[in-house]
Chains A and B, each alone.
Chain A
């Protein structure tokens, strides 16, 4: 028991003896009410976490729906003022203004969808974990891209997000968007025939710092680190290093 807790226990005992002259029924009633108040407060916290999960699922989906249509300002608005974006080898961009620059740079001189251009960003399979204090959350999700420029080229893209969200003044915002490239491939090829090397930083928009996790996308082997422990065994993150490979397994039979 903490020191404060012990002090309260001692005082409660004193309080009881002090108010022992009152009817015991009142005391019992008040104790029962206090117990209920605590239990209600506990349930309220649980329900807040459940509401958080729904809001985060919405937010993750909304991000994808906006990117579809190159709504760069709406995308940047989803970030906290200190928000960070780190995507697919492009490097790290720090702060909402830089995030906005990064997003606008995707279609220079243009905000919004363009004739002949397809930019579908499917945002799928969220695994949502809200911190016990309800102030931050991690979401792993999957990116699946249908890209196209009419009569020019089309691509499939595939990746993993490990994003961090922060709740500020009751509103969930993106705090760190971290997208890992699994592959991009030309429609005519397919990923197993030819997949793009990891994207390089934009020359016209150098990042604030290089990407935090060096890795090579498919066909190299890598595991984007998980924010969560195994949900059943509780086993921790022994895949922190995305270049991890099984070195102890028997050779291929």
Chain B
């Protein structure tokens, strides 16, 4: 035997004796019960931890779904996201506080000017940069987010606004809902001449629908200065500056949720529980993988690295950008993309092609083999020296993904254009023709016609949601 040849028989015997002693320490007869109980406890911890991962994903979905509903002024869908509890509150900028779901729903309806976006209106409400902390017991959570806002009345006004949310969430009957929404306005200003010249103050409380309580805090938006308190201490140093950081000082609290399930059980029980928790963890990992996949799509597209982009698609993958028609299969997708950059790939001197991939809502099928994702594209393009300062663009993707041999790929990428507008004036006078020049292939023909025809801004169109309302579970939120 090679081992004995190498080490000598005596060494092997000594090593084996040592290993047997070590093994004996944990494998005494009758120890099975103890080890099984320990396994049960380990599984309970795993189940609890995976539960918190799922909670985090569910809260991000809720918050991002809220943003997509605000985009289209779907006030009934927004109202339904709040917990039906007496201490549920909402407060936006200087509005004051509205209490209870019915009051909150009416507040949203009034402040956005009635259900449904009207022709000529733009109301983009991008939900970005989330910091989510779920309480150890998995029953409540807090989140800080950034809202970047584009408001418009075609031909009349265009406005930028920005500020953070500090929100709270509660899990009722297994479903996460808002228990508190609080948006702090940092800045709001007309696109022209910009925030450094004409910042707008916050709107006062609604006179004809006064709030139930005065504002939590009275402050001035830009050029005034205010630090909306953080719900978290510094995650590395633990520092928490009084007044700026609001962390409840009570202990972290033991994780109580799964303690009842930590009894030993049988080996068969343990196998079943392990398989179940593994599957749940895999679905969480799928969402992370798809976020990296779509994020990579954006970073590669920035630099027109079309070989890399094409590689992200399944062999039978499709791409449809606004009115481009549908290109089917990798060869076709490559032809289309190359046609957009004059047959070249890679970054081109003077060409900006930034494709921000934002606000993901990813839904993985139970079998873990397919998935769908809604994303927001925030676009900045431009050709240096061509006269214009560049272009802004915005719209929503509804994409499909497929897992092949354990690797997630894009099966269909479909961008619904909302607007492409020149830097000068922004979306004030956005012309749908600009979308054609952004999206249409040059000298190539799509394999299939467009799957849908719609009127982008200043028209009104809500790209169909692949998911139901995360609270009511009802579909059909579209116009």
Contact = CB atoms under 8 A, between A and B. Distances in A.
Interface string A216-253: 00111111001010111101000100001110011111
Contacts of A46: 278, 281, 285
Nearest to B270: A36
B356 A153 contact: no
Interface in B17-57: 19-20, 23, 27, 29, 31-32, 35-36, 39, 42-43, 46, 49-50, 53, 56
Contact of A32 (B230, B267, B291, B298): B267
Interface in A71-106: 73-74, 77-79
A205 interface: no
B345 interface: yes
Interface of A: 3, 6-8, 10-11, 14-15, 18, 22, 26, 29-30, 32-33, 36-37, 39-40, 43-44, 46-47, 49-51, 53-55, 57-59, 61-62, 64-65, 68-69, 73-74, 77-79, 112-118, 120, 122-129, 140, 142, 144, 146, 148-154, 158, 160, 171-173, 182-183, 185, 187-193, 195, 218-223, 226, 228, 230-233, 235, 239, 244-246, 249-253
Contact of A219 (B7, B289, B350): B350
Given A36-B39, A153-B196, A252-B342, A50 B53 contact: yes
Given A160-B299, A187-B196, 10 more contacts: A46-B281, A57-B130, A58-B132, A59-B235, A62-B235, A113-B225, A115-B225, A182-B352, A190-B390, A245-B348
Nearest to A246: B346
Nearest to B19: A11
A158 B380 contact: yes
Contacts of B89: none
Interface string B416-437: 0000000110000000000000
A232 B305 contact: no
Contact of B383 (A125, A192, A230, A235): A192
A130 to B, nearest CB: 10
A25 to B, nearest CB: 10
B239 interface: yes
A32 B3 CA distance: 28
Contact of B35 (A15, A33, A148): A33
A213 B186 CA distance: 35
B61 to A, nearest CB: 14
A187 B196 CA distance: 9
Given A158-B380, A246-B344, A150 B36 contact: no
B292 interface: yes
Given A185-B389, A221-B348, A144 B29 contact: no
B46 A219 contact: no
Contacts of B1: 10
Contacts of A79: 236
A8 B19 contact: yes
Contacts of A62: 131, 232, 235
Contact of A249 (B289, B345, B380, B388): B345
Given A113-B225, A128-B292, A230-B296, A54 B305 contact: no
Nearest to A116: B223
Contacts of A253: 342-343, 443
Contacts, number: 304
Given A187-B194, A190-B424, A26 B347 contact: no
A193 B388 contact: yes
B49 A47 contact: yes
B56 A126 contact: no
Contact of B346 (A68, A230, A245): A245
17 contacts: A10-B12, A26-B32, A47-B46, A47-B281, A58-B133, A61-B130, A65-B129, A65-B131, A65-B164, A116-B223, A125-B358, A151-B197, A153-B196, A173-B236, A182-B352, A231-B408, A246-B346
Interface of B: 1-3, 6-7, 12, 15-16, 19-20, 23, 27, 29, 31-32, 35-36, 39, 42-43, 46, 49-50, 53, 56, 128-133, 144, 146, 148, 160, 162, 164, 186-187, 194-197, 199, 222-227, 230, 232, 234-237, 239, 267, 270-271, 274, 277-278, 281, 284-285, 288-289, 291-293, 295-296, 298-299, 303, 305, 307-308, 311-313, 342-352, 354, 356-358, 380, 382-390, 407-409, 423-424, 443
A127 B225 contact: no
Highest count of chain B CB atoms <10 Å: which of A26, A36, A239: A36
If over half of B's interface residues share one DSSP class (helix, strand or loop), that class is named, otherwise mixed; here it is mixed
Given A219-B350, A230-B296, A148 B222 contact: yes
A15 B20 CA distance: 7
Highest count of chain A CB atoms <10 Å: which of B32, B53, B129: B129
B296 A127 contact: yes
A221 B349 contact: yes
A33 B268 CA distance: 10
A114 B223 CA distance: 9
Contacts of A125: 295, 298-299, 356-358
A47 B388 CA distance: 49
A46 B50 CA distance: 10
A232 B46 contact: no
Given A18-B20, A77-B239, A221-B346, A6 B3 contact: yes
Given A10-B3, A50-B288, A151-B197, A40 B46 contact: yes
B53 A54 contact: yes
A190 B422 CA distance: 10
A253 to B, nearest CB: 5
Given A115-B225, A116-B223, A219 B384 contact: yes
Given A195-B384, A219-B350, A118 B129 contact: no
